[in-house]
Structure 1
Amino acid sequence: MNWTVAGRVGAAAAAAALTVSIAACGNSNDSTTAEQTETPTSTATASTTTARPELLPLGAEAPINTDGFALRVAVLSFDPAAAPDAPAPPGGGHWTAAEVRTCVDTAPKQVTVNWSPWSAVDTTDGRYPTSDVTYNQFPLPEYPIGSEPVNVGDCVRGWVVFPVTDGAVINRVRYAPNNSVTATWNVADAPPPTYIPPTTPVEPEPTSVVEDTAEAPVEQPAPASGGVTAVGQPCSSPSSIGVDVNTGDNIVCVFMGAGGGNVWVQTAPIVGVNNVGDPCNDGDNVSRTPDGKAIMCVQGEWMYGP
């Protein structure tokens, strides 16, 4: 059988099972975790009461050591007005909540945890068990409301929620998996919990893309016959062959660099028709391609000129 820290569903059976596993080795020396209750004597003339154990401060761990089990239980924070946006408790009132933690150091059997061992206690000793229902508006992370296993060496932390009568002042949170194991924390002066509200993902603003508006130079055809085609005049199509209007000699359109642009220049006599890449003799200077572009013989190969 698994060792269960009580259970909300079938609380009586779970508490009985827990009593078998914990109370078997419980004794009066567990003064840090056991809450002693008033016990009447057999005489009619006197009675003896035991002192209530010291309340633990928030954050303090109560060691639970019994029957081979070693646990550490703590109340970390308290909210007297939790989940204000949640539906009201079925019996009326409002919600309070405690943030608790359970750590399992050693265990001969599996340990499971849930809300059932926890209760809230008011200034008049009224006790309020944990809620039988859960809502999305309850604080997160939520302590396991149903029995969930905790491995040795692990801890589980979260909020347990209590329905409380309006007007009740809660000053204690109690942990009691059975009658022989109890621990109580003082929450009367608990600072208000700090919740980190969920953040809404922010969509990144679209980044405007600046397109390069610089236009690529548009190659213009060489001026038609009769235009201004002369050495030193601008031209538009590099390697194009033209005729100087002043001399009648062949001229070639050459790109002179970013600062000079395309300009008509003088050329050596243009001889024959060849293709770019064809072999040539070093004595050959300038020829033309089948489509009318000027090419030069450089290191035994026809190629476009400068």
Structure 2
Amino acid sequence: MLTFNDAVGDVTVKVTVLSYEQGIKAQTTADQEFSTDGYEWAALEIKTCIAKGTGGTTRYPWILAYEDGARVEPSSVTYGDFPKPEYPYEATVKAGDCVRGKTVFAVPGNQRPERVLYTPEALPEGAEWAVPKA
């Protein structure tokens, strides 16, 4: 578990990457969905809490970064058999409240990302976490 704390204007946020899991089984494979060869589903479990103010959160500033420079954004598709709970597409979070869930990515099955990048527009520096070796 890795945590990032920051204050943006009047909002204080705590963002935590709880886990990363690759090789998720679903009725539709990543290769079937995207006409790829050798891709599989992976899930990143995230928790965002607002300590002060009101802020928005979404799954789209999350990116998986690979050693070779490749970057993978979250999948825009969801299936009923994806891991639950799902992290929301968009949510407003008030002080004292949290949002937690899993975001799914279609990733190369023969590689593991080295970092998770959090790149919301409100945080020019962003944040990053190392992905533990399998």
Give the TM-score taking structure 2 as reference length.
Answer: 0.86
Partner amino acid, structure 2, of 1:86: Q
Mapped to 2, the partners of 1:189 and 1:121 lie a distance apart of 14
Map 1:177-256 onto structure 2 (within 5 A). Answer: 177-178=120-121, 180-189=124-133
Distance across 2 between alignment mates of 1:189 and 1:80: 11
CA RMSD between the two structures: 1.6
Larger gyration radius, structure 1 or structure 2: 1
Gaps of 5+ in 1: 1-58, 191-306
Query: Is 1:95 the equivalent of 2:37?
Result: no
Contact 2:51 2:95 survives alignment (8 Å): yes
What corresponds to 1:74 in structure 2?
A: 16
Aligned match of 1:10: none
Whole-angstrom CA distance in 1 between matches of 2:64 and 2:119: 11
- How big is the shift at 1:141? 1.2
- Maintained 8 Å contact 2:22/2:40: no
**Of 157, 167, 172, the match for 2:115:** 172
Question: For residue 26 of structure 2, what is the aligned residue in structure 1?
Answer: 85
Matches within 5 A, 1:95-114: 95-107=41-53, 110-114=54-58
How far is the alpha carbon of 1:102 from its aligned partner? 0.3
Q: 1 or 2 for the larger relative contact order (CA 8 Å, sep ≥6)?
A: 2
1:171 shift after superposition: 2.0
SS at match of 2:126: strand
Give per-residue Cα distances to partners, 1:16-61, cap 9 Å, x unaligned.
xxxxxxxxxxxxxxxxxxxxxxxxxxxxxxxxxxxxxxxxxxx221
Match for 2:29: what amino acid? A
Describe the superposition over 1:66-108 as per-residue Cα deviations: whole angstroms up to 9, x where unpaired: 21211000101110212x123123323111111110000112x
How many residues are treated as equivalent by the alignment? 128
Provide Cα deviations, 1:111-169, integer angstroms capped at 9, x if missing partner.
2212101011122121100011101111111111x212112111111111111123232
Q: Which runs of 4+ in 1 moved over 3 A?
A: none
State the Cα distance separating 1:172 from its structure 2 match: 1.5
Distance 1:162 1:132 in 2: 9
Alignment of 1:44-63 (within 5 A): 59-63=1-5
